[in-house]
Amino acid sequence: MRVKGDIAAGLVRNLLEEKGTPHAHALQQAEVLVEAELRGHPSHGLQRLPRILTRIDKGLIDPRTRGKSHWRTPSFLDVDGLRGLGPVVALQACAILAERASSTGVAVAGIRNSNHLGMLAYYVERLANEGIIGIALSSSEALVHPYGGTTALLGTNPLAIAVPTSDRPLVVDLATSVVSMGKIHHHAANGSAIPEGWARDSDGGVTTNAANAMKGSIAPFGDAKGYALGMALELLVASIAGSSLAPEVRGTLDADAVCNKGDVLIAVDVGRQPQVLACFSSYLDRIRQSRPADPMRPVTVPGDGARSRRERALNDGFEISGNLWDELKALSRSNEALVKGIAQ
């Protein structure tokens, strides 16, 4: 099923507003979910919507709040998300950080008691578009096994960085696991196998069955390197945000528990120096224009692929699975006009 981004966003907004979500908050949550789809990351897109709606019904998400924050020091913002929608709480924190970083140079937010942020690239790119270096860290349930181990004890602990240039910012967004659990859920929903090496099953054996992988553990990327980075981010997020460690974290992949993972946002304002930003752009272009190993595959820099996919999807729409389409239709009976309009 091919879907246009504006139609999908309208459907998401309507469903959220039916649950008592203020219009502005519904806009923000919808944009984050649809942006993930447009950029080719369905694991962080519409497949999360049914769970979000269920969590609102159960009181695990309060869609009305932006969270509560105070400056613990001149450059450290302590944020209690008050169970708010992740994007709403994070975007409020981003706005506060950007303003403070203009005077302090660096501003950091530790966020707890919020919900899943979605794609971290979205937040750091917004900061970079304002001429500010953006860094985002997040934690999750225990989904990743240690290097040399078989039991899930670490989060996927993603990291995103965006650096402004005179053109498009450099945007890096990666999990410290070889893949996100959301992507494994996406394979399971579509009944497709996962590559060997992604995950182990509940007995510790290597598996290509996505459903079995959901009950087991994911491998760290780059073996010992991803494991080390993931462990460092695990402790870093917990210490800054005051959140739980992975074995005790719940609430990003279920509809039954309060979300107790943590998020960290960092804004660095080094001054909008046109010559420096132009130098960065030239450097990235030099990399793009370098000799490729495969003449049919030009060299790219992080963020290029997502931008290309987004441009195509804005014109042509994006694919969602038939199973997800059926689920959204079932949730959307009071939005009959949108449901009919979503198919192209």
Establish how many alpha carbons lie within 13 A of residue 204's alpha carbon, considering only the half-sphere containing its beta carbon.
7
Averaged over 55-81, what is the pLDDT?
98
Considering the domain boundaries, does residue 313 fall inside one?
A: no
Whether residue 174 is found in the same domain as residue 104 = yes
Considering the domain boundaries, does residue 309 fall inside one?
A: no
Is a pLDDT exceeding 80 seen at residue 329?
no
Q: How confident is the model at residue 343 (pLDDT cuts 50, 70, 90)?
A: very low
- Look at residues 169, 85, 154, 81 and name the one whose alpha carbon lies nearest to residue 124: 169
Averaged over 66-76, what is the pLDDT?
98
Whether residue 226 is found in the same domain as residue 204 = no
C-alpha to C-alpha distance for 79 and 93, rounded to whole angstroms? 8
Whether residue 157 is found in the same domain as residue 29 = no
Averaged over 118-127, what is the pLDDT?
98
Give the total number of structural domains in the chain. 3
pTM equals 0.93
Q: Would you mind telling me the total number of residues written for the chain in this entry?
A: 344
Q: How confident is the model at residue 338 (pLDDT cuts 50, 70, 90)?
A: low
Residue 198 DSSP class: S
Whether residue 283 is found in the same domain as residue 232 = yes
Averaged over 125-141, what is the pLDDT?
97
Q: How confident is the model at residue 236 (pLDDT cuts 50, 70, 90)?
A: very high
Q: How confident is the model at residue 159 (pLDDT cuts 50, 70, 90)?
A: very high
Whether residue 285 is found in the same domain as residue 150 = yes
Whether residue 225 is found in the same domain as residue 93 = yes
Helix (H, G, I), strand (E, B) or coil at 280: helix
Averaged over 16-28, what is the pLDDT?
96
Is a pLDDT exceeding 70 seen at residue 231?
yes
Is a pLDDT exceeding 80 seen at residue 235?
yes
Averaged over 191-196, what is the pLDDT?
93
Whether residue 58 is found in the same domain as residue 195 = no
Q: How confident is the model at residue 336 (pLDDT cuts 50, 70, 90)?
A: low
Provide the residue range defining the domain that includes 103. Answer: 65-178+221-302
C-alpha to C-alpha distance for 88 and 113, rounded to whole angstroms? 13
In this predicted model, what pLDDT tens digit does every residue of 73-119 receive, in sequence order?
A: 999 999 999 999 999 999 999 999 999 999 999 999 999 999 999 99
Which CATH number does the domain housing residue 25 bear?
Answer: 1.10.1530.10
Considering the domain boundaries, does residue 157 fall inside one?
A: yes
C-alpha to C-alpha distance for 149 and 170, rounded to whole angstroms? 34
Considering the domain boundaries, does residue 37 fall inside one?
A: yes
pLDDT of residue 326: 82
Q: How confident is the model at residue 55 (pLDDT cuts 50, 70, 90)?
A: very high
pLDDT of residue 333: 59
Q: How confident is the model at residue 344 (pLDDT cuts 50, 70, 90)?
A: very low
Q: How confident is the model at residue 158 (pLDDT cuts 50, 70, 90)?
A: very high
Q: What is the mean pLDDT of the chain?
A: 94
Give the E-state strand segments of 60-141 in sequence order. Answer: 68-73, 76-80, 106-112, 133-138
pLDDT of residue 342: 47
Is a pLDDT exceeding 50 seen at residue 67?
yes
